[in-house]
């Protein structure tokens, strides 16, 4: 499998959200291979975005159709790596451009 298939960018996450919370939330859609919350190198503080990788890329359509609130914040999806191109549209919806 291509390393980017099934990978989803998650934006606008709370600074309280960690990898385990992302995995717990998105496991409702399918098997989650990996989650990561991006952090500042010097301080280790979260940067407000992360990534989720699903074992089955076909679940991304279902994930992108729903709104997601994690730790009290509605998160947005800027794009998934499996599609040709997705555009972020406020508030937290997407448009797929082929």
Question: pLDDT tens digit string along 1-42?
Answer: 445 778 888 999 999 999 999 999 999 999 999 999 999 999
**Nearest-angstrom CA–CA distance, 74 and 12:** 7
Residue-range domain boundaries for the chain: 7-96
Residues facing residue 89 across a β-bridge:
93
For the chain, the distance separating the N- and C-terminal CA atoms, rounded to the nearest angstrom, is 21
Predicted confidence (pLDDT) at residue 78 exceeds the cutoff of 70: no
**Nearest-angstrom CA–CA distance, 36 and 19:** 5
CATH number of 7-96: 3.30.70.330
How far is Cα of residue 44 from the mean position of the Cα atoms in its chain? 20
Q: Write out the two tokens for 17.
A: 């959200």
Q: Who contacts 5 (Cβ-Cβ below 8 Å, separation ≥6)?
A: 57, 81, 82
Q: Write out the two tokens for 32.
A: 């989650």
pLDDT band with cut points at 50, 70 and 90 for residue 44: very high
Position 31 scores a pLDDT of 96
Predicted confidence (pLDDT) at residue 86 exceeds the cutoff of 70: no
């Amino acid at each position: 499998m291509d390393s980017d298939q099934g990978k989803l960018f998650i934006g606008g996450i709370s600074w309280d959200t960690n990898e385990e919370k992302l995995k717990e939330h998105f496991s409702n859609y399918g098997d989650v291979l990996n989650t990561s919350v991006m952090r500042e190198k010097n301080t280790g503080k979260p940067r407000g975005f992360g990534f989720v990788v699903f074992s089955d890329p076909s679940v991304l359509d279902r994930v992108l159709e729903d709104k997601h609130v994690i730790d009290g914040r509605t998160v947005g999806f800027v794009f998934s790596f499996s599609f040709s191109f997705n555009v972020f549209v406020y508030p937290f919806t997407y448009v797929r451009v082929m």
